[in-house]
């Protein structure tokens, strides 16, 4: 099983707004994604956190 559940954390306020599954073999590096943060009330860059 190479699937891990990661949470995506807002880079601005550090809220954990989303969670996703990731395949470690195909996605070795940490990823960043622009998503809407309800705490910041705008789109911010979210990054993976553990
Ligand atoms: Zn935020």
Average pLDDT of each block of 10 consecutive residues along the chain (50 residues)? 86 95 73 94 92
Count of the separate structural domains present in the chain: 1
Integer Cα distance of 6 and 42 in angstroms: 22
Cα of 23 vs centre of ligand 1, distance in Å, is 25
CA distances from 49 to 4, 7, 39 (A): 12, 6, 17
- CATH number for the domain that contains residue 22: 2.20.28.120
Cα-to-centroid distance, 43 and ligand 1 (Å): 8
Q: Which residue has the tokens 């789109």?
A: 43
Determine if the pTM surpasses 0.85.
no
pLDDT reported for residue 6? 87
Range of the domain at 15: 3-49
User: What does the pLDDT read at residue 12?
Assistant: 97
């Amino acid at each position: 099983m190479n699937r891990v559940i990661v949470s995506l954390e807002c880079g601005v306020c550090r809220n954990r707004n989303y969670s996703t599954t990731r395949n470690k073999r195909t996605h070795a590096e940490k990823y960043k994604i622009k998503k809407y943060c309800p705490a910041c009330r705008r789109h911010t860059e979210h990054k993976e956190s553990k």
